[in-house]
Homo-oligomer: A and B are copies of this chain.
Amino acid sequence: MKTLQSFKARTGEPFGAPLPATTPEQVDAAAAAANAAFASWSASPGSTRAALLRALAAALETDREGLVALADEETALGPVRLNGELDRTAFQLRRFADIAERGVPFATTNDPAVAGPPPAGHPAMVRLRVPLGPVAMFSASNFPFAFSVLGGDTASALAAGCPVVVKAHSGHLLLSNRVFGLVQQVLKSQNLPAGLVGMIQGGGSDVGVRLVRHPSIAAGAFTGSTRGGAALQAEASARPRPIPFYGELGSINPVVALPAILATRGAELASTLAGSIAMGCGQFCTSPGVIVLLNDPASDAFVQQLTTALAGQKPHAMLTPGMRSAFDVGVTHMAAAGAQPLLHEAGSAEAPRPFLAQVDAADFIARTQLREEVFGPSSLIVRAASVAEALDVLNAVGGSLTVTLWGAEDDNADTRALVRGATAIAGRVLFAGVPTGVAVTAAQQHGGPWPSSTQPMSTSVGDAALERFLRPVALQDAPAWLLARKGLPC
């Protein structure tokens, strides 16, 4: 029997007893159980979905102390952050409960018949949305609650009427199992099928790939690396019947700071930015990895301010030893590609020191290695000679979850061009603050052009995340009994 081992993030020691890896047969069984649960769940009213989601939120909160302690051992993210993340996860579950209860998944477009010949005349049409089917959900390492077993993908899929099979992340196996135990208790207490939420664990083609290939799986949701996400997306596309695969992948999140704002608020902004780069040891998909500065004395001063502020940051241990060593490799590559280090210290075996380097726009544009995401507390200052060159930098980035524009308060040709350049490559454009921190709200868009996501028309955070799992269907001349269901699938 294959087994899996959890580790303590701060020391690298084995943590707890080995866990059994899911067998290929068990993967198939989880997908089949999810499919068996699909008929009743997809036809369930909003009140039933809301009751489940709220009970799951409450279960997390009730077990808060034990969950946070376990998560802290496995991830080193610290109790403050982890309690906040648990709050956010419960908030998301309740928000999607409200969305389901309000009837959002059942909303219809009614289009009464118009008499007469086409094109103006047409039969009675009603457009509704049907749930896709069981969703394969791949947990992320860096959000052990909010992008894991009961994270936003699971919450939005359940609210949409889709069962979920979670692929647990190897970085927090014990936590995943404990949360999954809570899920099973809640399902039982609500007389819902155990297979409505399944979980598998293990690596490679025995588990994750097999799940994506399973004929009962109707969609994939993933948060993680570009390489891992691209490989799973290729599997989803290569199926005899391809399925949508919603992957949030790598992102380097440019921050463009114009000289005028740096001249007046440089020290404050440097401190804020340094905090964002080092926050959570830089292990955020929205971590600001590129700082674009125009050639100006205020920019020169800001480079000094940022270097000083970042030197004062003390990042905690990384999530896994693999990420820790990948960080060193990443910053070495960046230096080798011509980025001039401003801050480059060795760090400890578990916790890195922040890395900051600088490069000219022309080099940044010419060398793809400088545009690769370095997961961890690293950022690269890119110096541009003009707004036009700053736009070339954004264009070279090509796709990002976020772009931040500091100093765009006035309407002029430069700011309009920068807004245009930013919206062309990002899912979210910020005009104040830092990109880390993704609000769970109605207007959020977490997903931008490739490589930041595989489906940039969709979002994995915020109310619209639900839409990923619903497909439109038009009913033509539908009978009265079907219309009386008001968008609830049969």
A interface residue numbers (CB < 8 A to B): 39, 43, 84, 87-88, 91-92, 109-111, 114, 118-120, 122-123, 125-127, 130, 133, 237, 241-242, 244, 398-399, 408-411, 415-417, 419-420, 423-424, 426-433, 437, 439-445, 449-451, 454, 456-457, 459, 462, 464, 471-479, 481-482, 489-490
Contact = CB atoms under 8 A, between A and B. Distances in A.
A476 B110 contact: no
Nearest to A230: B242
Contacts of A411: 479, 481-482
A489 to B, nearest CB: 7
Contact of A472 (B111, B430, B459, B475): B459
Nearest to A472: B445
Contact of A127 (B109, B442, B474, B475): B442
B420 A475 contact: no
B118 A477 contact: no
Contacts of A451: 241
Residue among A87, A122, A457 with max Cβ neighbours from chain B (10 Å): A457
Given A444-B125, A490-B416, A476 B119 contact: no
A432 B476 contact: yes
Given A111-B443, A119-B91, A477-B433, A130 B424 contact: yes
A430 B119 contact: no
Contacts of A122: 439-441
A423 B426 CA distance: 34
Given A456-B471, A473-B427, A127 B443 contact: yes
Given A420-B490, A429-B476, A439 B482 contact: no
Given A443-B109, A490-B416, A428 B130 contact: no
